[in-house]
Chain A
Amino acid sequence: MNLEYSDEHKAFRDDVCRFLDEKLPEHLTDRGRRGRAPSKAEHEEWHAILHEQGWLAGNWPREFGGAGWDAVQRHIFETETTARGAPRIVPFGVAMLGPVLQKFGSKAQQDHYLPRILDGTDWWCQGYSEPGAGSDLASLRCEAVRDGDHYVVNGQKTWTTLGQYADHIFCLVRTSKEGKPQEGISFLLIDMATPGVEVRPIVLIDGSVEVNEVWFSDVRVPVENLVGEENKGWTYAKYLLTHERTNIAGVGFASAGLAALKRIARAEQDGGRPLAENPHFAARVARVEIDLMAMATTNLRVVSAAAGGQAPGAESSMLKIKGTVIRQEINALAKTAAGPYALPFQSEAVEGTNEEPVGPDYAARVTGQYLNNRKLSIYGGSNEVQRQIIAKTMLGL
């Protein structure tokens, strides 16, 4: 056993660090440090920088314009960039749709869409969930009915992350009501400028807008926008989910959060000493740091097995649960650390208004982040559903 990266991977990490030193603009990390979500323009700026380096799609093979990294390299890149507070790469085009098109899409779809994901021409969002179909995704009802060389789509999607920015949406739609519910689902690409598509924002508990409802009424979609075969969409969706679940542990986010938490704890005065020296507070921070250290290694064990060709199964569910719980505990501790300055309501939405933050700047978004990040254990398959997967696949229960 050897806990060190190989020489090649060490060299790669040095490359990544050098690149970040030179090319990651301070205004982007600054924003992350203050707990603010990046704007569309900021996402685009970061994507363009990465694209120029050839690093936007680490997971794609080189033939499609990706970096062709192995799992360890991807891990190194994600950990280093998130720990520095870089915006995350918006996953919908790069991490989700890209791999599906590469495996199941037609040549024409690959040639048209893949370059446009890389150069930022198209912004994609994910239309899976519906009001009645959350954890039980197969019960979805949004339907697509064949009419000549078009599908006519009617129904509603919800929780569409960053859909307000997107010009395209990949959807699971019902094309058949026969047989098992999974067997009548198709995977359809929809241009959101098509007449009959309507996007309505959903305001989240911290006042931010990152999810939307998307309504379809008699939306005509050309049949060439069907990915793979009709009624086989569930297979593609499951394939996509295995990709959605990369970087699921969020080690970089947790490290960045922990560093921010420690900064607050050193700055806050408590009974004439820094809060960091309060033994009860310090004990809770230590507990989460110990947990994070172990999880980082669990993550590496999974990454290393994946680099050796083993597809992660229930391990990614373990990482999802542990990773989200750790991040949520760090958020809760940051809110605790801010003390009475957790009280002022400082919405993400007032960002544009030039208002000075109330109290120390490190406190401005702790409450918002705590509330907003309750989502981590809900979306992408809730932690309860992940536990079911673990019990089923690892124990056969």
Chain B
Amino acid sequence: MNFEWTDEQRMLQDGLRRYLSDAYDATGRKAAREADRGFSAETWAGLAEMGVVGALFSEDQGGFGGSGFDLALVFEEMGRAGAVDPLIDTGVLGGGLLATFEPDTLEGVIAGETHLALAHAEPGARYELARVAATAERDEGGWRLSGRKAVVANAAAADRFLVTARTGGAGADPDGISLFAVERGALDFRPYPVVGGGTAAELSLDGTPATLLGPEGGAYPALAAVHARATLAVCAEALGMMEAVRDLTGDYLRTRKQFGQPIGKFQVLQHRMADVLIEIEQARSAVINLAGNVDGDARDLHVAAAKNLVGHVARLVVEEAIQMHGGIGVTEEYDLGHYARRLSMVDHRFGDTIHHLERFIALTRDAAPLEGAAR
């Protein structure tokens, strides 16, 4: 057993941490938040140049990493900096699907030139991955899509949209879901900002021209695979954010004085801060479990376990940190506000604590319990 990073991974981690702490100083974060596309083009270009997008892909895909641990490392640093770049959307989701179905177009993604958005979820589908109502019909030149897509992340920047639609089946049937590419120009939409940074949009598809990617009706397995990796990414990002919040709060407890002493001298706050630290370590272990299993047989079990646990811990950390800061904790300008907003959105991507609790129960009801890392 070995919980250490390799030398290459450590180098990437150091470089990334340094780069992001410069890019995301107070002014950098504000600029990113106010940019039309929801992030800074310059920061994104720098990330791609450092090979951060490439770290999400294996060597035979044109990258130089791609393991669950590579993802965990990268996204933990993104989270620590409070970065808002659409690395999950363009890289893990969009790029992951292209790696499977259109690998020759991946180069532009890894180089940071192409932006992608996955338009999959629909109003009324909530977090159920196989629930797709949008439909695709074949016509002379290709395909035409109809239906609605909800909260499509990274819409403002995306050059291409990867859109799911049914060519067969119904309801929440995994069979019959197909994946299509739609060019930005074929869509008419108004992007809106998302809490904690980035953009999204609602898409109306009404005979929208599209190109089929991959096997007709057989997109679900790839979709589930990239979804698992995106869940890992968002959990690792949450972990980084929680550690940043822990540091901010610890500093505050040491410096804020009331009743003639630092508030960190009040035992009630000490104990609660101690609980926060314990829970963050639990989150770290859950992320490690998921990272080691994200491409294996026990994938779904670990996705459910990690996302449920991280969802709970994220809520605890947000609420305790704000409370221990007092009034300053509910202001927009103070750094904590950004992390709190972004961290409180983790539960709303790729399934919340309740959704993953149900999945975990379904997957473990009849199985013998095993220990964490070995499972």
Contacts and interface: CB of A to CB of B under 8 A. Distances in A.
Contacts of B322: 205, 374, 378
B323 interface: yes
Given A158-B327, A202-B331, A343-B194, 6 more contacts: A129-B327, A135-B258, A336-B347, A340-B127, A358-B192, A375-B330
B341 interface: yes
A344 B192 contact: yes
Interface string B317-357: 00100110011011111000100110011011100111001
Interface residues of A, number: 52
Interface in A323-370: 328, 332, 335-336, 338-345, 358-360, 367, 370
Contacts of B326: 134-135, 378, 382
B150 A359 contact: yes
A232 B269 CA distance: 33
Contacts, number: 137
B325 to A, nearest CB: 9
15 contacts: A129-B327, A136-B258, A136-B259, A211-B327, A271-B126, A272-B131, A339-B127, A339-B352, A341-B151, A343-B194, A344-B151, A344-B194, A367-B344, A371-B340, A384-B323
A234 interface: no
Given A271-B172, A344-B195, A358 B327 contact: no
Contact of B348 (A332, A339, A383): A339
Interface string B242-268: 000000000000000111100000101
A31 B131 CA distance: 34
Q: Contact size class for B?
A: 35 or more
A88 interface: no
Give the residue among B131, B172, B194, B332 with the most A Cβ atoms within 10 A.
B332
Interface of B: 121, 123-128, 131, 150-151, 171-172, 192-195, 200, 202, 257-260, 266, 268-269, 315, 319, 322-323, 326-327, 329-333, 337, 340-341, 344-345, 347-349, 352-354, 357-358
Contacts of B150: 340-341, 359
A275 B171 CA distance: 17
B337 A205 contact: yes
B193 A345 contact: yes
A58 to B, nearest CB: 29
Closest 10 CB pairs of A and B: A136-B258, A203-B332, A345-B193, A269-B124, A340-B151, A205-B337, A136-B259, A345-B195, A374-B322, A280-B354
Contacts of A167: none
A268 interface: yes
Interface of A: 129, 132, 134-136, 139, 158-159, 202-205, 207, 211, 268-272, 275, 278, 280-281, 284, 328, 332, 335-336, 338-345, 358-360, 367, 370-372, 374-375, 377-379, 382-384, 387
B332 A207 contact: yes
A375 B327 CA distance: 7
A359 B151 contact: yes
A342 B345 contact: yes
A332 B354 CA distance: 13
A362 to B, nearest CB: 13
Contacts of B131: 271-272
A218 B17 CA distance: 48
